[in-house]
Amino acid sequence: MKCLMKYPWVKLPRNRVPAGKGIMGAWMRLAARAAFRKGEARYCGYNNPVEPGMWVGGIVGLKAILGLRRRDAALDVLRELERLGFLSWSLDPSTKKLSYTLSDWLVRFCGAACPDGAVCATDGYGFVCVSREITQRLSDRNYNFEEADAWLDLWCHTTVNDPGNAFSFLAPTVQYGKYGATLTLETLGRRWGWEKTKVWRFFQTHREEFALRRLPGNLGCLVFNRAYPCDSVAAVPSIEEISSLLGELRRLGRAQSFDRVTLNRVIAWYSRHASSVIRPKSRVALSNNIYRAYLSPVEVSTTYHNDCGGISIEEAQKTFLVEALRSPPPGFTGFVWLTPEDFVKRKPAV
């Protein structure tokens, strides 16, 4: 599974709503209960039409979602989220029907109306696609983050198997932008409006989700997201694994001196060449005993366009050329390109 920095969305399991204060914690609770497809939602004996990212109910249901006891406190949360641009909401004073619609919602298709089935999510089931830029609004407003805000900020900047960050092949890694693979407590403190000691206490509290690995000298640290959903359970890399990969990046970068800025650029530029990056296995067999390669658009290729593995023959030929020229075996002198006429008129020379 990949989660590249260029992807505008990240996966957030509905059962991963963190404890603690924060406006984004309230947003996550509301998002976890929003409709995931178009249809009718049942609430207190009423059927209400809903769209993806929408919830319809009453004040009592809203208080239960947010975990609040007071009506005014629940409505204040909606007003604050609306002011920040995260949702829109309405309350009918006559029927007491309340509805909210999330602004940042991934809608690829609404689907057919489903009046006989559930359209709203329940706690602990499935996941929410969260925009990577959702917490950036708080930072742009110089908003003082709370605990849940910082938690979601780290989650939204998680990357997995990204060629621009070799460490993300070891485990899901937190990265801020193209040149933000390594972080410091001071950098996060300035972003969140916290002191360095508060940032350290946050990571100690949430070490089960976010693990710190310090780099030598003043190069900062790496933050690994241990809770991000992957195909398999990803263990936090050991110090030896990190040091080995860091040394390889140093050799690839060939820089005389390394500071954090230089290291971040080296990671972005040379990660795709590091040995830790898992590349697809080559379909071309290069042998030291083979000195010539024959590529011929014979008659069969006009009928069959893919090989037995479903790979395009034309693409396989291009791959062969690229890989053979990149690392030719000893004694390799070049290619001989044959046409169908060469097979018909004369016997190919070997």
**What would the pLDDT profile of 17-45 be if each residue is shown by its tens digit?**
877 889 999 999 999 888 887 877 777 77
Contact between residue 316 and residue 304 where contact means Cβ atoms under 8 Å apart: no
Residue 11 has pLDDT above 80, yes or no: yes
**Which is it for strands 210-214 and 221-225: parallel, antiparallel or unpaired?**
antiparallel
Q: Choose between 68 and 217: higher pLDDT.
A: 68
User: Does residue 273 sit in helix, strand or coil?
Assistant: helix
pLDDT digits (tens, 9 = 90+) for 49-81: 888 889 998 899 999 999 999 999 999 999 999
Residue 331: is it exposed, middle or buried by C-beta count within 10 angstroms (0-12/13-18/19+)? exposed
DSSP 300: G
**212: closest CA among 221, 202, 199, 201?**
221
Average pLDDT over residues 326-333: 57
Res 158: pLDDT: 96
Long-range contacts (CB closer than 8 Å, 24 or more residues apart) made by 259-265: 259/218, 259/219, 260/182, 260/184, 260/218, 260/219, 260/220, 261/179, 263/181, 263/182, 263/215, 263/219, 263/220, 264/179, 264/180, 264/181, 264/182, 265/179
Residue 163 has pLDDT above 80, yes or no: yes
The DSSP-derived string for 25-77 is HHHHHHHHTSBSSSEEEEETTEEEEE-TTEEEE-HHHHHHHHT-S-HHHHHHH
pTM over 0.85: no
Cα–Cα dist 120/52, whole Å: 9
pLDDT digits (tens, 9 = 90+) for 262-286: 999 999 999 998 887 765 544 444 4
Contact between residue 14 and residue 120 where contact means Cβ atoms under 8 Å apart: no
Res 52: pLDDT: 86
- Cα 150 from chain centre: 17
Cα–Cα dist 155/128, whole Å: 12
User: Domain locations in the chain?
Assistant: 34-120, 136-273, 292-345
User: What's the one-letter identity of residue 246?
Assistant: L
Average pLDDT over residues 9-16: 87
Cα–Cα dist 221/264, whole Å: 11
Instruction: State the alpha helices, DSSP H only, in the chain.
Output: 23-32, 59-66, 71-83, 136-140, 147-156, 185-192, 196-205, 239-253, 260-270, 313-326, 340-345
Res 281: pLDDT: 47
Round the average pLDDT of the chain to a whole number and report it: 80
CA atoms within 13 A on the CB side of 268: 15
Cα–Cα dist 11/214, whole Å: 26
